[in-house]
Chain A
Amino acid sequence: MSHKEDLALMAHLMRRAGFGATREELERRVAKGYEATVEELLNPTDEQPPGQVALMLRYHPSFLLPGGVPFAAQANWMYQMLSTQRPLEEKMALFWHHIFATGNSKVDNADQMLVQVELFRKYGMGDYKTMLVELSKNPAMIFWLDNNENHRDAVNENWGRELLELFSMGVSNYTEVDVREVSRAFTGWTIAPKLPRLPYGRFSWKFEYKEEDHDDTEKSFLGQNGRFNGEDVIDIIVKEPATARFICRHLYNFFVADEPQVPAWTIEPARDEEALELMIDSFVSSGYDIKAVLRTIFTSEFFKKARFAKIKSPTEVVAGTLKMVGEFQFPDYGLLQIGKEPTYMGQSLLDPPSVEGWHTGNEWINSGSLLARINFVADRVANTSLPGVQTIISQMKADGVRTPEDLVDASLEHMGYLELAEETKGQLLEYARGGGNLDWKDQETSGRRVGEMLALIGATTEYQFG
């Protein structure tokens, strides 16, 4: 593989397994090697930047306990995505947020939403059973799906149903009786009595198991009988073939290529059945280990070939662009607003439209969201005062970028080795030719033309894919 091809592949990996990378980071990672990078992503050793919490507390006190101010929690997470030294761990937190979609619209306690994200970071690449058990004890989830209203003598099926339908097996793999039995197994899994809200703040919530409110009698679930508690039920669930298929298909949709929306999965065949089988094998043979599936994905040919086969989520657009232009590597002024940007494009972080999460793929795109995406990207990459854009400009100068052809090619490389349709590329070239060759003696004009070309590339349909 040529060096350029290595860089392009690494850019693909870092877009999917993280939030993108600058050219400098790509070079560094290519020098280390693809497989080694995958291993590092799977087993991150670098801690978060030292003093990060103190920094955030000093610059944006509302970040850490945002309470009743949800956009501060969104900004907190966005900052973590931009500054993380553990990109795959952070990307997995976003993945689980897509699946275990919990909304602050109901939870109304942004502190607890951040606690849930922390849980995703901690268990997101481990074994699936532990993840589900921890999720079952997560106060935001308990409140979101009303398990605090699930009592021995008055069963509430909300959590039990979604655990089966949306978090593990998918519809049509269990009966209504199973839903009932799972719900009974989770009676008594609640949160300690909640204190009333403060006007601006929120009290923290704690998981509590109330034995006296737990239905300890015999249950019959998926053909097995016993005095099951929640953990026993999860033990059965993770071993179900339907669970392996359902979770792997989600991982495929998130990391490899856009699948149809989840409700269609019982009808529509998988986009790549062979790939899915490989993933399922890893999941089962590793004892339901998410990390094993991720390793299979990132080292596979089907992944390497799936460049630009997904529409980027709004969060990926915002985080990827900000990383490219080098904004908010430090909690500067303005960061508090930046968490709202994905909302303007249709993805309000920590507040999905429902427990079914967001519809992904081309459903991210409508006329309002497309305008917001294009303008957000264009405004930033054309801003030649931003550090990342300055770096791109000086690299182009150092690389001897001169002709309109050079300009288009170099800009595409800096924007993640983007591949364009021939027609689109031809049109960009024609546009670039209108300005003639770059004259680096006039640094300002050349820089402006670079920024403009980056903006135009950001406006293409192709750039909406990642």
Chain B
Amino acid sequence: MTSTKKDPVVVILQLTGGNDYFNTIIPYNDSIYYDNRPYVKYERDQIIPIDSQLGFMPTMGPVKELYDQGKVAILHGIGYPNSPRSHFRSMDIWHTCEPDKVGTEGWAGRVARELDPNKENVLTAINFGHGLPRALAVPGVPVASIADLGTYGLLTGITDQSQRNKALELFSRMYSPTVGGGMVGDYLRATGTDAMRGADIVKVAPERYSSTIEYPNSPIATHLRDIAQVYLADLGTRIFYTQHGSFDTHAGEAAAHPKLWQEVSEGIAAFFQDLHEHGRGDNVIMYLFSEFGRRVHDNGSGTDHGAAGVSFFIGDPIKGGMYGEYPSCKPEHLEQGDLVPNYDFRGAYSTIVEDWFKLDGKPIVNGNFEKMPVLK
């Protein structure tokens, strides 16, 4: 599959741990916010107003700038019914779109399978980080997982380059299809060859890359720079996945939350500046989500697991603004002290799958859900 610059691309950024929605997009003119947050709140004069009711938390300035350029869509009240308030279960639900049973196929992996049914490109979907998030795991779909683009590959422990090249040559001979060994052996060799091909192709990305943009020094900014490098190298990757955290701020939220969002916001700003410097912002959208929001009332030092959260779409193709409604914060409208979700996350996925990738969303997200008109 040859890549064309017109192929739509998505970057999924997972805010792992449960981002505090109530403290991210803040109803700063509502006394309920201040009443519920005696210890874990942002001061009125530091909140960045969006309108007369809502504002970004203080370290989201770079995102606010993109918002002012009309490139950020805020999806209010996202979640699903009967939140289990468990990270692992909730993340599973977001990854597999199976709220009622334990699912085994990741939604983004299904998208990759549809985008490249003949597995022509081993780099159709790439995760940046350790391991493979379940969202990308579908049996038989090749997905690369890159912890660090600079050192990605096979037998990277061999530091002597000429020695390593010899070892890799040997590897490719040992994994060549002419070696006998039965069906399972054949499968192993094909997979090993895929892995090596992927590593081989992707290594050109840092070589081809040149940019004046300086990314800040944080793990998420580094992953986003790696993503920019691979994207700009035109390797045909359509789904980039990465994560940042931990947003599980049960304690010490006042210190941790601003730091986390500063890293995310600055990373995102650098990423889009980079794309613009290369004139390549027109076919990339970014999607941010977290597995749940957090409890409305703080616990003295942090906040506990909640339900409704917030998602963001960012990019040039995005029609900026606010979508949906902020869930009611009135005590009588909370469930177990939590904001109640009023928008199903599978609708946001359907928006990506159908309106961006032009695929049938139903088999991927397991049903029909209300989409949001966030694309221009």
Contacts and interface: CB of A to CB of B under 8 A. Distances in A.
B251 interface: yes
B89 A105 contact: yes
Interface centre among B84, B174, B178, B251 (most CB of A within 10 A): B174
Interface centre among A354, A371, A424, A428 (most CB of B within 10 A): A371
Interface centre among B139, B154, B189 (most CB of A within 10 A): B154
Contacts of B170: 427-428, 431, 456
A365 B191 contact: yes
A421 B181 contact: yes
Interface residues of A, number: 52
A300 interface: no
B52 to A, nearest CB: 35
B173 interface: yes
B245 to A, nearest CB: 14
Contacts of B122: 367
Contacts of A464: 188
Interface stretch (B29-37, B126-134, B259-267, B268-276): B126-134
A227 B122 CA distance: 58
How would you classify the secondary structure of chain A's contact residues: helix, strand, loop or mixed? helix
A460 interface: yes
A204 interface: no
Interface in A415-466: 421, 423-424, 427-428, 431, 434, 452, 455-456, 459-462, 464
B144 A367 contact: yes
Contacts of B163: 452
A370 B102 contact: no
Interface stretch (A215-223, A267-275, A324-332, A356-364): A356-364
Given A103-B102, A199-B251, A366 B143 contact: yes
B195 interface: yes
Contact of A461 (B166, B185, B199): B185
Given A359-B139, A421-B179, A431-B166, A200 B250 contact: yes
A4 interface: no
B145 interface: yes
Contacts of A434: 166
A404 interface: no
16 contacts: A105-B86, A200-B250, A340-B131, A344-B130, A354-B102, A354-B104, A361-B184, A366-B140, A378-B157, A424-B179, A428-B170, A452-B167, A455-B158, A455-B167, A459-B155, A461-B192
Interface of B: 84, 86-89, 91-92, 101-104, 122, 127, 130-132, 134, 137, 139-145, 154-158, 163, 166-167, 170-171, 173-175, 178-181, 184-185, 187-189, 191-192, 194-195, 198-199, 250-251, 299, 302, 304
